């Protein structure tokens, strides 16, 4: 009985320690990937090809579909906001609300979730299998750095994809917002520019840039770290994927919540 009682806090402490160590590995790998992404030496010929392939698979392939989907969703949301605002006689706030809700919050989050669902899960599985098959050890033996050759290109691909998807969709949403509020008339441009300037002050613009960067990093870094810290047993591959994806969603939601809290509280 006593042993049971002493064991529980011990296990709790161990779990907490493991949790902390795991997140520490996430931050460490993220920082490492960021530094390597900005170092010109990373982009030798072979690496460039791998990175280009990652960008192609993660960003290029889904760009039209994602843009179409987000345009549709944006149009519906813009219409709802504009009609509701008009009904309450608050149409002067419709544009600001549309820009804030869509461009600042929904579209970056949607882009991150889309890349996470499509590529994050794939990266998680792929890296877990490579790790379990011992591909990385083989690479190290042959003199290649698996971090540089396989992992960093995936991080760069995810980050670029999140930013690309979000910026293209945001541009489309901004155009749709103009059309939704002012119609085809060019005379709303001055008011539109003014509202735009109102929304995007320095803090909001920097916050948006930071959020996009963190989203892009999280989408690849968290699944990769989750795959690498698993024991090398193939039966544990689903656990690695599950753990990586849960952690990724948690991170995305926390980042979005923190961004909202900083802006509005």
Q: Between residues 62 and 226, which has the closer beta carbon with respect to other proteins? A: 62
Name the residue nearer to other proteins (CB basis): 35 or 90.
90
Q: How far is the CB of 167 from other proteins (least distance, A)?
A: 4
Considering the complex, state which of residue 96 and residue 229 has its C-beta at the smaller distance from other proteins. Answer: 96
CB of 54 to other proteins, least distance (A): 8
Q: Judged by CB, which is closer to other proteins: 170, or 219?
A: 170
Residues that bind other proteins (CB under 8 A): 48-49, 51-53, 55-56, 59-60, 63, 90, 160, 163-164, 167-168, 170-171, 193-194, 196-198, 200-201, 205
Other CB atoms within 10 Å distance of the CB of residue 195: 20
**CB of 252: closest distance to other proteins in angstroms?**
20
- Minimum CB distance to other proteins, residue 48 (Å): 7
What minimum distance in Å lies between the beta carbon of 212 and other proteins? 9
Return the number of the residue (62 or 224) whose C-beta is nearest other proteins.
62
């Amino acid at each position: 009985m006593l042993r049971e009682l002493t064991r529980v806090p011990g296990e709790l402490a161990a779990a907490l320690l493991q949790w902390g160590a795991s997140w520490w590995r996430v931050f460490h790998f993220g920082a490492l990937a960021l530094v390597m992404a900005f170092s010109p030496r990373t982009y030798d010929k072979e690496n460039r090809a791998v990175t280009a392939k990652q960008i192609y698979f993660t960003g290029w392939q889904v760009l039209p579909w994602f843009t179409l989907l987000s345009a549709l969703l944006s149009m519906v949301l813009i219409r709802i906001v504009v009609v509701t605002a008009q009904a309450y006689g608050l149409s002067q706030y419709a544009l600001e609300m549309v820009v804030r809700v869509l461009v600042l919050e929904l579209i970056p989050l949607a882009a991150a979730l889309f890349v996470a669902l499509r590529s994050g899960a794939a990266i998680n599985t792929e890296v877990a299998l490579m790790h379990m098959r011992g591909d990385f050890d083989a690479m190290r033996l042959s003199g290649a750095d698996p971090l540089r050759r396989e992992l960093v290109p995936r991080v760069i691909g995810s980050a670029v994809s999140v930013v690309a998807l979000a910026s293209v969709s945001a541009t489309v949403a901004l155009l749709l917002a103009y059309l939704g509020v002012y119609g085809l008339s060019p005379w709303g441009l001055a008011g539109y520019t003014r509202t735009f300037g109102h929304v995007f002050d320095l803090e909001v613009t920097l916050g948006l840039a930071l959020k996009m960067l963190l989203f892009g990093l999280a989408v690849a870094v968290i699944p990769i770290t989750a795959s690498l810290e698993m024991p090398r047993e193939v039966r544990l591959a689903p656990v690695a994927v599950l753990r990586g994806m849960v952690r990724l969603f948690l991170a995305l939601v926390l980042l979005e919540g923190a961004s909202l809290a900083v802006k509005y509280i």
